[in-house]
Amino acid sequence: GQNIDQPTEMTATEGAIVQINCTYQTSGFNGLFWYQQHAGEAPTFLSYNVLDGLEEKGRFSSFLSRSKGYSYLLLKELQMKDSASYLCAVIDSNYQLIWGAGTKLIIKP
């Protein structure tokens, strides 16, 4: 079966750096997304990776290793507003999105 694994919850300190990991086993691979979702709100797009390597976008970066079935989202200079859930999603060989359950990130002052 298809599966995406992310830690359920992580805690970090304001101003620090945190890395949220995502591992996947899917039937084929056509790209990986990261979305941010604040409590009670809709998910919003953060990043898209289809080739191996690091994509940097301001304070957020996303890394992909297709051979390892692995991605991470790196958040730098954490702010309180970064407290949210972070969702990893993979496009499989049928161009369907497979979602992870999400990682709840708690930022402490």
Partner 1 sequence: EAQVTQNPRYLITVTGKKLTVTCSQNMNHEYMSWYRQDPGLGLRQIYYSMNVEVTDKGDVPEGYKVSRKEKRNFPLILESPSPNQTSLYFCASSHEPGQGSGELFFGEGSRLTVL
Nearer to partner 1, 48 or 70 (CB): 48
DSSP secondary structure code for residue 39 in this structure: T
Structure tokens at 21: 């990991």
Residue 102 binding partner 1, by CB under 8 A: yes
> Exposed (0-12), middle (13-18) or buried (19+): which is 77, by Cβ within 10 Å?
exposed
Query: Is residue 87 part of the contact set for partner 1 (CB under 8 A)?
Result: yes
Candidate ranges 14-22, 25-33, 53-61, 72-80; the one touching partner 1 (CB under 8 A): 25-33
Distances (CA, A) of 103 to 59, 60, 93: 18, 15, 25
Site string for partner 1, 37-56 (x = CB under 8 A): ---xxxxxx--x--------
As a whole number of angstroms, the distance between CA 82 and CA 31 comes to: 24
Q: Closest distance between partner 1 and the C-beta of residue 43, in Å?
A: 5
Q: Which residues bind partner 1 (CB under 8 A)?
A: 8, 30-31, 33, 35, 40-45, 48, 87, 89, 91, 95-97, 99-102
